[in-house]
């Protein structure tokens, strides 16, 4: 049997109020809500660390390297940053400016204006295409006259922003994503912020859930893990949609079709970092400069240079090209990044690269991808997952948020919301209604699509 609930949660009853599966942002948020309410819980995590897809490490480069989420969206309204000042972390505003390389030079002011105008028109077209009309994929909604900027716009709005090509993304889902107009960075890493918020939360690591069974006529949930069985009144599952769609966690009698379909329609896109140590700033860029290229096809990336004032620079790849590249392994990923930078800044870049690291989120057994984007026609799948299964099984995570999906803040809010429903039920209090779908103004979000949650 696995560890009992923490001492602070004992003394009420031998029965556990809730099992929380996954110690990423949603799981940590849910655990904190239960702790605040004085309710008992067990938090289990399949991997050997907390954080999920928001994880920072210092061993690779001697400075903070966010292997997952790095950009902190909407810091003034982000639930995590509200807690950050009390945790001794250095948050600072991120510039939303972008730079464009055209061959070996930067785009001139007029060229940059053309790119930004094309991005505005693309955002507006996607939003207007589904206003009062059936959903469609984002690619079909794009203006036909984007001209020479089309490939760059498609990369910035699709693979870079959401980990999928635009023809795989619901225009309704795209249009409803909000709160990405400004951002911040954490000098110690976004993952360090989340890890700090997890301090004091009891978690059982290296404990993968294999099966979930609702027993005793639906009055109890029994969970089979790699370290034994646990039973509780409720369960909150924060595993990724790809993990759940893969069937790695078995549900008794199988999942009802609407839930299985929802996981399938919200499969994770592909997004990875190729991190390069470039001492001496050989690219001549400012701290946290974001650089795109004027591309002619999908074989492209984006550069975040001199991360938080260090010698660490990160090339990001995503979508179909990123998935195929990552499948070839670390060596191929590094070779692409170095060749790509050489094509933009000159061949001397090859001599300047020291240490390297890559991420492989598609191969991570406890994640199997980056972030959950709804397929065309399937935006309603998020609402399906907001409803409890048999009144005992609750789902949470970045996929289970109508508007802040794909963000750590959205995952946190989802976990808090699920835990709040459970707590209210335990106390016999009326449940809060699900929030109405927020509107968005995609036409104004010119540069936010170039800022990443991963």
DSSP string, 112-125: HHHHHHHHHHHHHH
pLDDT score at 96: 79
Calpha distance 13→137 (Å, rounded): 51
Question: What is the phi/psi pair of residue 42, to 5°?
Answer: -125, 125
- Name the residue ranges covered by the structural domains of the chain: 7-54+190-266+372-427, 91-186+268-365
Least trusted range by pLDDT, from 26-30, 83-87, 272-276, 318-322:
83-87
**Is the pLDDT assigned to residue 1 strictly greater than 80?**
no
Calculate mean pLDDT across residues 384-397. 95
pLDDT score at 445: 35
Domain spanning 7-54+190-266+372-427: which superfamily?
FAD/NAD(P)-binding domain (3.50.50.60)
- Please state, for a pLDDT cut of 90, what percent of the chain lies above it: 83
pLDDT score at 437: 54
pLDDT score at 440: 46
Q: pTM to 2 decimals?
A: 0.92
Contact (CB, 8 A) for 68 and 359: yes
CA dihedral angle for residue 280, residue 98, residue 412, residue 271, rounded to 10 degrees:
-70
CATH, domain range 91-186+268-365: 3.90.660.10
Beta carbons within 10 angstroms of residue 2's beta carbon: 15
Q: How confident is the model at residue 2 (pLDDT cuts 50, 70, 90)?
A: very low
Calpha distance 107→28 (Å, rounded): 43
**Is the pLDDT assigned to residue 7 strictly greater than 70?**
no
Output the average pLDDT for the chain: 91
Q: How confident is the model at residue 73 (pLDDT cuts 50, 70, 90)?
A: very high
H helix count then E strand count, the chain: 14, 19
pLDDT score at 443: 34
Q: How confident is the model at residue 24 (pLDDT cuts 50, 70, 90)?
A: very high
Q: How confident is the model at residue 97 (pLDDT cuts 50, 70, 90)?
A: confident
What residues contact residue 131 under an 8 Å CB cut-off, 6+ apart?
none
pLDDT tens figures, 294-353: 999 999 999 999 999 999 999 999 999 999 999 999 999 999 999 999 999 999 999 999
What does the DSSP 8-state code read for residue 294?
-
pLDDT tens figures, 395-454: 999 999 999 999 999 999 999 999 999 999 999 988 776 665 544 443 333 333 344 444
**Is the pLDDT assigned to residue 257 strictly greater than 70?**
yes
pLDDT tens figures, 104-113: 999 999 999 9
């Amino acid at each position: 049997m696995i560890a009992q609930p923490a001492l602070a949660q004992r003394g009420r009853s031998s029965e556990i109020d809730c099992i929380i599966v996954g110690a990423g942002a949603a799981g940590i948020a849910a655990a904190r809500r239960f702790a605040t309410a004085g309710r008992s819980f067990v938090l289990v995590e399949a991997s050997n660390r907390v954080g999920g897809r928001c994880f920072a490490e210092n061993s690779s480069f001697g400075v903070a390297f966010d292997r997952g989420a790095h950009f902190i969206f909407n810091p003034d309204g982000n639930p995590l940053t509200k807690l950050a000042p009390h945790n001794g972390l250095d948050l600072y505003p991120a510039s939303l400016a972008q730079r464009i390389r055209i061959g070996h030079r930067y785009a001139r002011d007029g060229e940059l204006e053309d790119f930004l105008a094309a991005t505005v028109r693309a955002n507006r077209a996607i939003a207007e295409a589904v206003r009062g009309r059936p959903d469609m994929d984002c690619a079909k909604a794009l203006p036909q006259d984007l001209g020479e900027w089309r490939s760059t716009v498609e990369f910035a709005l699709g693979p870079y922003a959401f980990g999928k090509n635009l023809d795989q993304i619901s225009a309704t889902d795209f249009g409803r994503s909000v709160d990405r107009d400004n951002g911040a960075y954490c000098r110690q890493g976004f993952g360090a912020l989340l890890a700090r918020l997890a301090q004091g939360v009891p978690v059982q690591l290296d404990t993968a859930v294999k099966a979930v069974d609702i027993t005793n006529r639906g009055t109890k949930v029994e969970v089979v893990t790699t370290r034994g069985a646990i039973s509780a009144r409720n369960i909150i599952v924060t595993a990724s949609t790809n993990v759940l769609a893969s069937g790695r966690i078995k549900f008794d009698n199988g999942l009802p079709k609407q839930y299985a379909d929802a996981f399938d329609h919200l499969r994770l896109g592909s997004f990875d970092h190729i991190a390069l140590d470039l001492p001496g700033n050989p690219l001549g860029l400012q701290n946290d400069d974001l650089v795109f290229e004027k591309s002619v096809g999908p074989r492209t990336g984006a550069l975040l240079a001199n991360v938080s004032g260090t010698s660490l620079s990160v090339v990001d790849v995503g979508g179909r090209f990123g998935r195929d590249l990552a499948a070839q392994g670390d060596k191929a990923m590094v070779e692409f990044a170095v060749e790509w930078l050489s094509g933009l800044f000159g061949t001397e870049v090859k001599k300047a690269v020291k240490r390297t690291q890559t991420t492989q989120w598609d191969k991570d057994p406890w994640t199997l991808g980056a972030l959950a984007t709804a397929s065309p026609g399937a935006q309603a799948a998020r609402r399906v997952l907001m409803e409890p299964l048999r009144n005992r099984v609750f789902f949470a995570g970045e996929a289970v948020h109508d508007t802040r999906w794909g963000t750590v803040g959205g995952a946190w809010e989802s976990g808090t919301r699920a835990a709040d429903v459970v707590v209210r039920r335990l106390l016999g209090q009326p449940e809060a209604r699900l929030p109405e779908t927020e509107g968005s103004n995609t036409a104004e979000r010119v540069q936010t699509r170039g800022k990443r949650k991963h």
